[in-house]
A and B are shown apart, each in its own frame.
Chain A
Amino acid sequence: MAEAGAVLEVAGLCKRFGDFTAVDDVSFTVPAGGSLAIVGESGSGKTTIARMIVGLDRPTSGTIAACGRDRSRPARARDDRRRRGREVQIVFQDPYTSLDPRQSATDAIDEVLRLHHGWPAGRRRARAAELAELVGLDERQRHTLPRALSGGQRQRVAIARALAAEPRILILDESVAALDVSIQAQVLNLLADIRDSTGVSYVLISHDLAVVRQLTDQAIVLWHGQVVERGPTGQVLDDPRHDYTKRLRASVPRPGWKPGRHRPPTEATTP
């Protein structure tokens, strides 16, 4: 499975919760500086995969390697945990719940810089300012608490904080889904710029096919925990092969779109 230049390698990944298989034999690789979309709907297993990559959930079987080092088992020591933090960071959908409500953007970034790089205060301050600049936070926004920021501004703080660890891989778990269209465009442009300037790799977890098209080179489509289709993003979206991908594609509103009843609804309960 080892591939030259792969920064993230996931092989045969499985996660079972009791009798329920959330993730079923999923494999993929992400090259350095590449961008992979994991496409799926609720219950497809996409967020469980993200949680296993960052170490919030432990795989039932299979391997995850970032920068050539295994991370399918929990970190044993603090140094190992910190090293993993410098390899992979994650930005969640809702920055309300992922930012400390008592920390300004500058403090949040500073904490990560201190933890991961151990730099002196002067150097940390300069780097925090650079990161705030990179994500477009103005002077006022850098020093206010999250509750005084808009959703888009909070998401910029979360991105800057994740980048402070200088990760090789950034996992974007529906990170732009809750943003207004005009703000979402700003953040998507920002993410493209950051990838160009830092060479970070993205794993974008999303149900939004237009966002997937804009930000990623490769895509896998998940359905009930399994990869049903994979390939270059443009090809997967323009010429879907699997029935589920076709249905997903056909469900997106567009000019002239007429919603259709595709199948008799049979599901009885929430999974």
Chain B
Amino acid sequence: MSGPLLEVDGLTVRLPVRGTMRTVLSDVSLAIRPGEALGLVGESGSGKSMTARAIDRLLPRGAETGGTIRFDGRDVASLAGTELRRYRGEVAMIFQDPRAHVNPVRRIGDFMTEALRANQGVPAAEARQRAAGMLAQVGVDGGARRLRQYPHELSGGMLQRVMIGAALLTGPRLLLADEPTTALDVTTQAEVMAVLDELRREFGLAMLFITHDLELAAAICDRTAVMYAGQIVEVRASARLHDDPLHPYTAALAAARPDIGRTRARLRAIPGRPLSAFEAPPGQCAFAPRCPHAAAGCREAVPVLVELDGGRSRCARAGELRGALEVADG
């Protein structure tokens, strides 16, 4: 058993918003082993994208951070110059909307080979050859011809394959994938996920996979972490997340989703709306105001993430609620 490749410990991030500092992440801790896929699931404002940005050192100007992020034992905050460039090659990011992250007036080939040429000093001809080979691996036909095309000539699904190919070209050890298939059609999503999943395994890459879709995360990640109001509230083996959750929010999220297999008389909606970290009531469990299992103690202290039954839960009542957090109703 090897040590973690990525280790985030007690990460707290505050951002300036109209003159005041607002907490967006609060005590986020997670670890990813080499080759492991960890899902990061949450609703709007839960902090899942901000976590990826903090890991990739892409936080907005003026952000205040606490806690540590270690990659392969190195403190990411202390990296500079050559070391930071090397880190950016080892950690590759794939975004939700490829069109917003690719220069529309530059050809696919220039985009794909840029990092190879600029950061790794690979000669242009060799870089293009490697890019063409990568296109075949991500399932884009037409190889060298594609390298001469512009982004607008490719569909969304094709462009996302190009983004995945470009991310893999620099030989990263960790992929940060932020809702990479959310903007795609369902059938295209399945195909792009297949590409991502196959190549990740083939190259032995670790992955942090960010999504709002609990089922998608559970299907392709080894473990899944669930975020709420800037905190991780549960980490669980994906296979057990859906049927045996450790936190009331995970159970509520799974139960609120309509079921493709049957019509429910009523969906079990969660009252209220998801909160951002800065809106969460201070000094208590952030989910307590919406939680069907909240007790007096839940409103008196912020619960910590504790080990439980092979996973972790940030619920003060997690132990006594074991088995009571049923997801499916009859």
Give the B-binding residues of A (Cβ under 8 A). 41-42, 150-153, 180-186, 188-189, 192, 207, 209-211, 213-214, 233-234, 237-238, 247-262, 264-271
Q: Let me know if A185 and B270 touch, CB within 8 A.
A: yes
Docked CA distance A143–B213 (Å) = 33
Nearest-CB distance from B270 to chain A (Å)?
Answer: 4
Docked CA distance A182–B256 (Å) = 6
Q: Let me know if B157 and A265 touch, CB within 8 A.
A: yes
Q: Let me know if A184 and B256 touch, CB within 8 A.
A: yes
Q: Let me know if A238 and B261 touch, CB within 8 A.
A: yes
Q: Which residue of chain B lies nearest to A258 when distances are taken between CB atoms in the complex? A: B219
Nearest-CB distance from B211 to chain A (Å)?
Answer: 9
- Residues of A near B261 (CB, < 8 A) are 213, 237-238
- Residues of A near B191 (CB, < 8 A) are 259-262, 265
Chain B interface extent, by class: 35 or more
Q: A185-B268, A207-B185, A255-B242 are in contact. Are A269 and B215 (CB under 8 A)?
A: no
A/B interface sample: 21 pairs, CB < 8 A: A41-B187, A182-B273, A183-B273, A188-B258, A210-B257, A213-B258, A213-B260, A214-B258, A214-B267, A237-B260, A252-B186, A252-B260, A254-B260, A255-B215, A255-B218, A258-B197, A259-B189, A264-B141, A266-B141, A268-B154, A270-B152
Q: Which residue of chain A lies nearest to B193 when distances are taken between CB atoms in the complex? A: A259
Q: A180-B43, A257-B219 are in contact. Are A210 and B259 (CB under 8 A)?
A: yes
Docked CA distance A153–B274 (Å) = 12
B5 close to chain A: CB less than 8 A: no
Q: Which residue of chain A lies nearest to B195 when distances are taken between CB atoms in the complex? A: A261
Known: A181-B256, A259-B194. 10 other contacts (CB 8 A): A151-B44, A181-B253, A182-B43, A189-B266, A213-B258, A214-B263, A251-B187, A256-B219, A265-B139, A265-B157
Nearest-CB distance from A264 to chain B (Å)?
Answer: 7
Q: Let me know if B263 and A253 touch, CB within 8 A.
A: no
CB-contact partner of B259 in A41, A184, A213, under 8 A = A213
Q: Let me know if B186 and A248 touch, CB within 8 A.
A: yes
Interface string of B229-262 (1 = CB under 8 A from A): 0000000000100110000000011001111111
Q: Which of B194, B195, B219, B258 has the most CB of A within 10 A?
A: B258
CB-contact partner of A180 in B44, B139, B266, under 8 A = B44
CB-contact partner of A185 in B157, B158, B190, B256, under 8 A = B256
Docked CA distance A94–B213 (Å) = 20
Q: Which residue of chain A lies nearest to B142 when distances are taken between CB atoms in the complex? A: A268
Nearest-CB distance from B207 to chain A (Å)?
Answer: 14
Q: Let me know if A257 and B273 touch, CB within 8 A.
A: no
Nearest-CB distance from B276 to chain A (Å)?
Answer: 11
Within B126-148, which residues are at the interface with A (CB < 8 Å)? 139-142
Nearest-CB distance from A39 to chain B (Å)?
Answer: 10
- Residues of A near B195 (CB, < 8 A) are 261
Docked CA distance A207–B268 (Å) = 22
Q: Let me know if B269 and A270 touch, CB within 8 A.
A: no
Q: Let me know if B263 and A185 touch, CB within 8 A.
A: no
Docked CA distance A152–B152 (Å) = 33
Nearest-CB distance from B164 to chain A (Å)?
Answer: 13
Nearest-CB distance from A114 to chain B (Å)?
Answer: 31
B14 close to chain A: CB less than 8 A: no
Q: Let me know if B269 and A214 touch, CB within 8 A.
A: no
Interface string of B192-205 (1 = CB under 8 A from A): 01110100000000
